[in-house]
Structure 1
Amino acid sequence: MKSILIAIAVVFQVATALGQTPSIQVEKSGKGTPVIYLPGFGCPGRIWKETAAFLGKGYSAHFVTYAGFDGTAAIDTPWYSAVRDGLVDYIKSQKLKKVHLVGHSMGGNLATDLAALLPDRVTKVVLVDAIPCMREVMMPGVKAQQIQYISPYNKQLLEMQAEPFKKMAAGMSANMTQSKEKADSITSWMLKADRKVYVFGYTDLLKLDLRPVLPSVKAPVLILAAGFPNREVIEKNYIKQYEALSNKEILIADKSRHFIMFDEFEWMARNIQQYFSK
């Protein structure tokens, strides 16, 4: 029997100018309702393949990998807006309608942006451990204009040698999942990333605040949040950050760290499956 997921690799040319580096690469499989899978920062689109397989037939899966990650060619700053605009162009050029979006972390930010920009095309949204303004949580009181691309910290990251960068990446990865094996995978993706995209792309995310666009999101939104280490604090943050989003449901994965697809996969996948079937 043929596999449900018969992959067809497609590189989408975002820019109209011939030969310009695309901001996204998309791998498509299956037939049915289009589901665009958006990974977190630094991660490849294939991180979502197990989820797509769990959902089964009836869906056309579009696995997105961003420029500068997983061996794809890098693009210049501003990086986040170029990726977002590339996704808008992709949805329109492929004539996709009744689109479902599934995004983890930064992928959730992109899903929020797309739902706000394309309310006539996006019908369902799943946000996996994604908040509209991570700066507010990580750096309370700091304004976007205070965060600069050219800074001592960014300079340090750009010039950091391979071994100390690997050590830093491994330390970050260990805090993102309960699984040592999966943490090693996250580290390998971080090391594979184009260094400038990694540094300046993350600066884009620190400057990002999508709370003003939330009222423009018309599709129902399922928010799956990681409850580790403190469910009460995390739930309060999510309720506050998504206050302006009218049609939403927030569920908490109590034992999961940031990568819910690694720590509580079946819980996450079943909730997405139930939500899509409504």
Structure 2
Amino acid sequence: MKRQFFILAMFLFTLHATAQHAVKVTAVSKKGDPMIFLPHIGCSSAMWQEIAEKYSGRFACYLADFAGFNGQKPLDSLYTENYVNDLRAFIKKEKLKNVILVGQNYGAFVAVKLTSDKSLSIKNIIACDFYPKLSMVLDPAMTDQKLQTIKKGIREATLQMNPADFEANQRQTAEMMNFTDSKNVDRFVEWQKKSDRKTLAETLCEQFSADLLSELQENKIPILVLTTWYFAKKYKNMPISEADKKLKEMYGDTPNITHAVTEQAKDFMANDQPEWFISEMDKFLKQPAVGK
């Protein structure tokens, strides 16, 4: 009996010790209110290194890396759900209070999903290039049939593309949509090449399938949304004065949202225009708490 108990105990210990984590968190600093930085699909937490270092003297800054991104061991399924669960477990284990979540696009999507757990002490969200219903960016009148076709195309293109074409595709995306600096383009491409293809496809499909507008209708957490008007100005000759109307379409009557818009940066605004990004964060974080 003792031998059987010992074998069972060792099995459980080994299972626990080898259990895969969906999120790897690295501390940059540990003094002050916690600030957790969340990456976009296929990216390393290094995309936030410069911003995190700027805040490391005043905040406890943590960089999060997601399974399947940039060489991290991938999960099999339920990607977003597992990332959210791991972040929740980390916050509770470390007993973090007044948490500030900072996310780029998909990272912001994960941050908003995390707020559904009202037991967590989340103070603010900084959301860069984030839309509560991503499918609206492609088509405001998106149908389920069209969405399924898009998701099928995402999976086929991501999984079946040969390495050379995949690299060229990622570089084109980075140059056209993400960055103005070629240094950031190069490292983005390397991150994507090292990422698990299935994870890239499924996380994007999960984001396209989601509609967070209903969840945000009761939002009590102040959120700063940073948006670029670069493409509207460059390709459609639309003045930045039109941004308010467009954001209203995207966000409806969502409460506790502050918008900041730039014409100078592409999608990765924290990398393209860090001074502006930090300035907008500073202004937002100085605002009094809701209800105070």
2: CA distance between counterparts of 1:167 and 1:142?
29
Matches within 5 A, 1:247-262: 247-262=256-271
1: CA distance between counterparts of 2:107 and 2:243?
19
| Post-superposition offset of 1:17 | 4.8
Deviation per residue, 1:203-244 (Å, 9 max, x gap): 111112111110232111111111112245554332222224
Question: Bigger shift: 65-74 or 83-92?
Answer: 83-92
2: CA distance between counterparts of 1:66 and 1:166?
21
Aligned to 1:36: 36
Aligned to 2:211: 209
Tell whether the 8 Å contact from 1:24 to 1:65 is kept in structure 2 after alignment: yes
Deviation per residue, 1:139-163 (Å, 9 max, x gap): 4433457427983552343122111
**What residue identity is the alignment partner of 1:211?**
L
| The structure with more radius of gyration | 2
Matches within 5 A, 1:232-271: 234-271=243-280
2: CA distance between counterparts of 1:152 and 1:47?
28
Tell whether the 8 Å contact from 1:215 to 1:246 is kept in structure 2 after alignment: yes
5+ residue gaps, structure 2, are 1-14, 233-239, 288-292
Question: Bigger shift: 113-122 or 56-65?
Answer: 113-122
Matches within 5 A, 1:38-117: 38-117=38-117
Question: Bigger shift: 224-233 or 92-101?
Answer: 224-233
1: CA distance between counterparts of 2:89 and 2:109?
17
1: CA distance between counterparts of 2:123 and 2:263?
28
**What residue identity is the alignment partner of 2:280?**
N
Aligned to 2:226: 224
2: CA distance between counterparts of 1:28 and 1:131?
28
Tell whether the 8 Å contact from 2:158 to 2:200 is kept in structure 1 after alignment: no
Deviation per residue, 1:176-212 (Å, 9 max, x gap): 1222221222111111111111112211111121111
Deviation per residue, 1:93-127 (Å, 9 max, x gap): 22111111111111111122223323750111111
1: CA distance between counterparts of 2:72 and 2:278?
28
Q: 1:103 to 1:119 in 2, by over 3 A?
A: farther
**What residue identity is the alignment partner of 2:26?**
E
Matches within 5 A, 1:49-198: 49-118=49-118, 121-143=121-143, 146-147=147-148, 151=152, 153-175=154-176, 176-198=178-200
The structure 1 residue matched to 2:283, chosen from 265, 274, 277, is 274
Q: 1:144 to 1:90 in 2, by over 3 A?
A: farther
TM-score normalised per structure 1? 0.87
Deviation per residue, 1:81-100 (Å, 9 max, x gap): 21122212221122111111
Tell whether the 8 Å contact from 2:219 to 2:254 is kept in structure 1 after alignment: yes
**What residue identity is the alignment partner of 1:49?**
Q
Tell whether the 8 Å contact from 1:214 to 1:244 is kept in structure 2 after alignment: no
5+ residue gaps, structure 1, are 1-15
Q: Secondary structure at the match of 2:231?
A: coil
Aligned to 1:23: 22
| Post-superposition offset of 1:267 | 0.3
Q: Secondary structure at the match of 1:32?
A: coil
Q: 1:75 to 1:53 in 2, by over 3 A?
A: same
